[in-house]
Amino acid sequence: MRPKAWLFVTLSLFVAYYALTWARSLEKRPPDGGDGEDGGMARGAANFGLLMTGVLVGAVFGWVMGGGVQIVDNGLRFFAPFNPPDRTNLVSANVTMAAAMLSMMIVGGSVAYLLAKGRGGWPRPVELFIGFITNFFDTLGIGSYAPTTAMWKAWNIVDDRLIPGTLTVGHTPPTIAEALIFIAIIEVDFTTLVLLLAAAVLGAWLGAGVVATWSRRNVQLGMGITLFIAAVLFVLKNIDEMRGTPVIAGGTAMALAGLPLVLGFIGNFALGALMTIGVGLYAPCLIMISLLGMNPTAAFPIMMGSCAFLMPIASGRFIRKGSYSLRPALALSVAGVPAVLIAAFIVKSLPLTAVRWLVVVVVLYTAVSMLRSYRASSAVTQPA
């Protein structure tokens, strides 16, 4: 099998860990009651139907991401499952398809289980809207963490202390979908890809263990500062693109070696750790990849793959500590995966500079709001 097929298989194991950890977290919740034997049977049948629906929908999504839908001559072509157009690598293509379908079936089943058993209720329309719009633009390279935080803060949807965990837990399935698509269609040196993915996972594992135990004040201060950093990165990216000749134009390489590879490993480790605070990885990773002389296109499988591998690990730590909000996280997952497919296969690209300027304004407002909340909570805790 090709190395990329093994990467897909490994990702499916990470997905299984994430989904089972999330589903098992509900075992600590008190059991429902009061509806009698008949009511319990009816509800059980409805829950089973919802579970099967989630698994089947996941299978369809996995088929699309595993190569069932491809862009050929600017049009969409559909292929039967396990019948890839490239017949010379049939084993690898079928393993990739199986891993993609299995991954999304696990995600679909776990999300359906959480919708059926969760005590937070079904996601509200505004929460689904946030999940759709943020993951749509995330697929096009904008990033989802900062815009999601801004909208949650504006509509007071998630408690400040729970925002980092809810971002990571909820955005994991859409990010996995992005990774499956872009790792499949963009060829990057396998050694470079794996080392940078491993660096991000290690950074996130260490970072999530710290952030999950933070108080609300620490989260407010950390996110306020990091949102300012995110806004600066958006501004730098926009100014660079508005120049006739970009300063951070990137190179043509699809691989790193020697010192640039070491620097890339250290950089992605830091970005993985910062992501658990609520800083999106996409914009800084794109800048880092370009500065290291790689083709900016190579950033897509690297940054999306990094997030797809690190987020299940970080999510597990947030979930076990209860440092997330269930309903908004489910909304991100339910609305996010369809948004990824629409953006990747139908829209494909948009003029995003104006969108980034809007994001800068919203993110700066949110950063100020976070720091004001931190200052207000600091004043309350000061002795009289």
Residue 34, pLDDT score: 38
Q: What is the mean pLDDT of residues 213-222?
A: 75
Q: How far apart are CA 182 and CA 86, in angstroms?
A: 17
Does residue 199 fall inside a structural domain?
A: no
Does residue 172 fall inside a structural domain?
A: no
Does residue 267 fall inside a structural domain?
A: no
- Quickly state the pLDDT bin for 35 (edges 50, 70, 90): very low
Angle formed by the axes of helices 216-242 and 145-155, to 10°? 130
Q: Which 8-state DSSP code applies to residue 253? A: B
User: 181 vs 149, 212, 340, CA distance in Å?
Assistant: 25, 30, 9
Instruction: Please tell me which residue, 126 or 2, carries the higher pLDDT value.
Output: 126
Total Cβ atoms within 10 A of residue 379:
8
- How much of the chain is in helix, strand and coil states, percent to nearest 5? 75, 5, 20
Does residue 114 fall inside a structural domain?
A: yes
- Quickly state the pLDDT bin for 274 (edges 50, 70, 90): confident
- pLDDT tens, 284-323? 787 788 778 888 788 888 988 998 998 888 888 888 888 8
Does residue 153 fall inside a structural domain?
A: no
Tell whether the model's pLDDT for residue 134 goes beyond 80.
yes
Does residue 185 fall inside a structural domain?
A: no
Tell whether the model's pLDDT for residue 335 goes beyond 90.
yes
Residue 135, pLDDT score: 93
For residue 125, the Cα-to-chain-centroid distance in whole angstroms is: 20
Residue 278, pLDDT score: 67
134: closest CA among 142, 126, 123, 122?
142
Residues in the chain: 384
Query: With contact defined as beta carbons under 8 Å apart, do 240 and 247 qualify?
Result: yes
Residue 336, pLDDT score: 93
State which residues form the domain around 57.
1-119
Does residue 328 fall inside a structural domain?
A: no
Query: With contact defined as beta carbons under 8 Å apart, do 332 and 130 qualify?
Result: yes
Q: How far apart are CA 195 and CA 18, in angstroms?
A: 21
Domain count, the chain: 1
- pLDDT tens, 339-376? 998 888 887 766 666 777 777 777 777 778 777 777 77
Tell whether the model's pLDDT for residue 37 goes beyond 50.
no
Give the predicted TM-score (pTM) of the model: 0.80
Does residue 102 fall inside a structural domain?
A: yes
Coil, strand or helix at 71: strand
Residue 43, pLDDT score: 57
Tell whether the model's pLDDT for residue 121 goes beyond 70.
yes
